[in-house]
């Protein structure tokens, strides 16, 4: 089909030498009727987007947009045959996403995207960037994706994003889109950059004030050489990204110290009780952005019990078993493993301790395995049932843990 161009991320990633996972196309000089006649299936609710019948790739008619109100949906779309390729590209967010490629392989680059790729710069295409608050999230997400390659956000783009925050445009973001972009950012190699970029332009304070508040709050230097709670949180998230690609774990690490933001300043640098205070902050965030339950549940458990894991060497066998029970480890062993990884990320997310061992996880895991190996059948054969059976099983598991685990010196 003539006047068809590969656009957006596929062109960008191809030029960067990265894998191209999906390809999007723009069609210039055509109409919905013409595409329907060729067997294309319409899928765009608000925009003229179609699926190609053979490849199932997305084809969109070239379009322009006019701002009509606040937020992501405050646009009027114009998609007719007179819209040019350059006009279509001009409405895109970043120069590196505003390139096209012809069917013959020629790059069309009206806004300097190739030069910005070379200079490793994330730069907005035009002042129209400020009309869509989702672009603030997208810039932060691209920063997280491309930071390992050395990319940074252009100063003028940072300034524009700050203006969007102060004007209230960011406040119009819908909950589903914020979470969608955030969870995608949590899947990137350097997730912390997403939150750093949002913080630098003031958007983090609007979108997640409980997280933004952590910067500047001190912690005891003997346990946290980096001192600052916000810095520690980003370091821990960085370790989590090394340990696992699971965004559920990464989210839990991000949330584990939210309670420190509510510690009265007169108690600093101590944060007694921050574990439970953090639970309320997690639940508040998850309600606001309709976060899936598996994310919320692990985050709450990590907030409540990460210190139990760090201090496992000091716990009595009964306390250790009760912790395993409250973690629901016996019924949800996979989530228990995620909990241990999140605790390890917290422990290693400290200045000078990034490569430290974390034997606490092995001790928690061993206690779980020993307790789990205790059979309930002999107790049932004795005629025990109900609450009496549960209590006796608990006692037998405590004895098994006491008999198996060797003393372990306290670990800082």
pLDDT per position as a tens digit, 31-87: 999 999 999 999 877 778 999 999 999 999 999 877 656 555 556 778 889 899 999
Q: What pLDDT, on a 0 to 100 scale, did the predictor assign at position 47? A: 75
Tell me, rounded to whole angstroms, the distance of Cα 181 from its chain centroid.
8
DSSP 222: T
Q: Which residues of the chain have pLDDT under 70?
A: 1-2, 67-75, 406-412
Helix 134-146, helix 192-200: angle, nearest 10: 130
Specify the pLDDT at position 79. 83
How far apart (Å, rounded) are the C-alpha atoms in residues 330 and 286?
A: 26
pLDDT for the residue numbered 2: 63
Supply the pLDDT for residue 410: 46
Instruction: Give the per-residue pLDDT at 278.
Output: 98
Q: Give the per-residue pLDDT at 411.
A: 40
Strands 41-42 and 107-108: unpaired
Give 264's contacts (C-beta < 8 A, 6+ positions apart): none
Q: What share of the chain is helix, strand, coil (3-state, %, to 5)?
A: 55, 10, 35
Predicted local confidence at residue 57, as pLDDT? 93
pTM: 0.91
In the DSSP assignment, the letter for residue 151 is -
Q: Which of 114, 111, 139 is nearest to 126 (CA)?
A: 111
Q: How far, CA to CA in Å, does 261 sit from each of 49, 204, 217, 236, 246?
A: 45, 14, 7, 17, 26
Sign of CA pseudo-dihedral 173, 174, 177, 182: positive
Query: Per residue in 305-315, pLDDT tens?
Result: 999 999 999 99
> Three-state secondary structure along 2-62?
CCEEEECHHHHHHHHCCCCCCCEEEECCCCHHHHHHCCCEECCCCCCEEECCCCCCEEEEC
Residue 71 CA, chain-centre distance (Å), reads 22
At 412 the pLDDT is 41
d(CA 329, CA 333): 5
Pair of tokens at residue 222: 């003997």
Which of 365, 269, 264, 357 has the alpha carbon at shortest distance from 309?
A: 365
100: left (phi over 0), alpha (psi -120 to 50) or beta: beta
- Whole-number Å distance between alpha carbons of 293 and 301: 12
Give the C-alpha separation, 333 to 243, whole Å.
18
Compute the distance between CA of residue 1 and CA of residue 54 in angstroms, rounded to an integer: 13
Query: 329 and 353 in contact (C-beta within 8 Å)?
Result: no
């Amino acid at each position: 089909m003539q006047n068809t161009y590969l656009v957006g991320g596929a062109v960008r990633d191809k030029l960067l030498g990265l894998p191209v996972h999906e390809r999007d196309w723009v069609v210039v000089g055509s109409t919905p009727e013409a595409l329907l006649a060729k067997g294309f299936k319409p899928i765009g609710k608000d925009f003229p987007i179609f699926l190609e019948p053979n490849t199932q790739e997305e084809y969109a008619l070239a379009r322009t947009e006019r701002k009509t109100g606040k937020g992501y949906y405050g646009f009027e779309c114009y998609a007719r045959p007179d819209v040019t390729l350059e006009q279509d590209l001009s409405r895109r967010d970043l120069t590196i996403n505003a390139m096209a490629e012809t069917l013959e392989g020629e790059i069309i680059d009206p806004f300097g995207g190739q030069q910005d790729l070379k200079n490793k710069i994330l730069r907005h295409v035009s002042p129209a960037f400020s009309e869509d608050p989702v672009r603030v999230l997208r810039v932060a997400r691209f920063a997280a994706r491309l930071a390992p390659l050395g990319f940074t956000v252009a100063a003028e783009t940072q300034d524009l994003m700050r203006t969007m925050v102060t004007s209230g445009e960011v406040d119009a973001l819908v909950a589903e889109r914020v979470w969608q972009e955030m969870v995608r950012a949590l899947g990137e190699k350097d997730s912390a950059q997403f939150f750093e970029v949002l913080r630098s332009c003031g958007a983090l304070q609007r979108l997640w004030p409980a997280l933004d508040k952590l910067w500047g709050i001190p912690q005891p230097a003997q346990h946290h050489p980096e001192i600052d709670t916000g810095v520690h949180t980003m370091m821990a998230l960085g370790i989590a990204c090394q340990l696992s690609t699971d965004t559920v774990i990464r989210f839990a690490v991000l949330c584990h110290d939210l309670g420190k933001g509510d510690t009265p300043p007169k108690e600093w640098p101590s944060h007694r009780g921050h574990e439970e205070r953090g639970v309320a902050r997690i639940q508040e965030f998850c309600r606001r952005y309709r976060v899936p339950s598996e994310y919320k549940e692990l985050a709450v458990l990590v907030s409540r019990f990460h210190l139990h894991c760090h201090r496992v060497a000091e716990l009595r066998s009964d306390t250790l078993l009760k912790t395993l029970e409250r973690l629901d480890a016996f019924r949800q062993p996979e989530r228990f493993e995620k909990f241990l990884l999140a605790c390890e990320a917290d422990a290693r997310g400290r200045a000078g301790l990034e490569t430290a061992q974390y034997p606490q996880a092995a001790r928690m895991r061993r206690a779980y395995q020993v307790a789990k190996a205790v059979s309930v059948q002999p107790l049932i054969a004795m005629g025990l049932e109900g609450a009496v059976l549960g209590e006796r099983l608990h006692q037998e598991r405590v004895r098994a843990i006491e008999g198996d685990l060797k003393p372990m010196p306290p670990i800082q």
